[in-house]
Amino acid sequence: MLAVVCPGQGSQNPGMLSPWLELPGTADLLDSFSAAAGTDLTRHGTTSDAETIRDTAVAQPLIVSASLLALRAILDGRDTAEVVDVTAGHSVGELAAAAVAGALDDAGAVGLVSHRGRAMADAAAASPSGMSAVVGGDPEDVLAAIEAAGLFPANVNGGGQVVAAGSREALAALAEQPPARTRVVPLPVAGAFHTPYMEPARGRFEQVATTWLATDPRLPLLSNADGADYGSLGEGSHGHGRSADLLARLTAQITAPVRWDLCQASLADRGVTGLLELAPGGVLAGLAKRSLKGVESVAVKTPDDVEAARDLIARHSAVGGAA
């Protein structure tokens, strides 16, 4: 049973698309993504510095583009529905996962996420804020400390990690007096995403998302809201959910916590045996090692990882006929 997962914001790094552009056809595909996003993703993925790609308006389409470039290179023309048993994405990665599930085409996913990124960047600029990972400790103690500090648990990731979000002053105070047996690690993001700080962005994105071209998912897609398959909200034309519910939850997600712990629990309940994290991979595979014991994972970072990804698919894809 194979899960394909897509990383979220903060996973970007300078020059991350350079090796992918050496593959045939990738430059043209990235050009189409740039046109959809209204920004030069080739430049941002090859020569832009860390501060430039930290900008939410740049980071979000760049990350989704990286995931989809990697996916197409790995599959080499194969249909995702013939390979992937279940998919999910962390925060902005849920838009890439929607493309994996066939609910958005690749350029459509990049175009939609560019609206999300710009709206969230503007909201972050209007009200300075940030996010920090709280690693370790007792989960209940961590959540209580976050609340006591006047912060929000923006990402409940499982594996001993909760991301706190809110004002920079409150984050600094939490770092000075962290919960017992924890480390507080600032994240390279521009605002308190998945909290009420993003309400202006949610309203602005909703105007775009409600009329965006989308189709019903063609394979199981897990929601950040509760880890459930979108099919639980309504079967849709393929039995895996309805596009209207997907777009509504992608909108609500902007101010709602990401429950990646529940997504991982759903993967475990489904009997997932292999987890493939698309580029720029690493974070979700790391969480899986702590939360999904016995599940083999591959984190795709460069084209050097493509063969390992294909091998994982061959051995774990149930829909593709793996034993």
Active-site amino acid positions: 91, 194
Distance CA 220, CA 136 (A): 31
Distances from the Cα of 149 to the Cα of 93, 143, 165, 194, 233, angstroms: 28, 10, 10, 17, 35
Q: How far apart are the first and last CA of the chain?
A: 9
Which backbone phi and psi does 19 adopt, to 5 degrees? Answer: -65, -30
Asked whether the CA dihedral 168, 173, 175, 179 is positive or negative, the reply is: negative
Helices (H), 138-212: 139-148, 168-176, 199-209
Neighbours of 135 (CB within 10 A): 18
Amino acid symbol at 127: S
**Residue 166 CB contacts under 8 Å (≥ 6 apart), including other chains:** 129, 130, 149, 150, 151, 152, 192, 195, 197
Do residues 137 and 144 lie in contact, with contact meaning Cβ atoms separated by under 8 Å? Answer: no
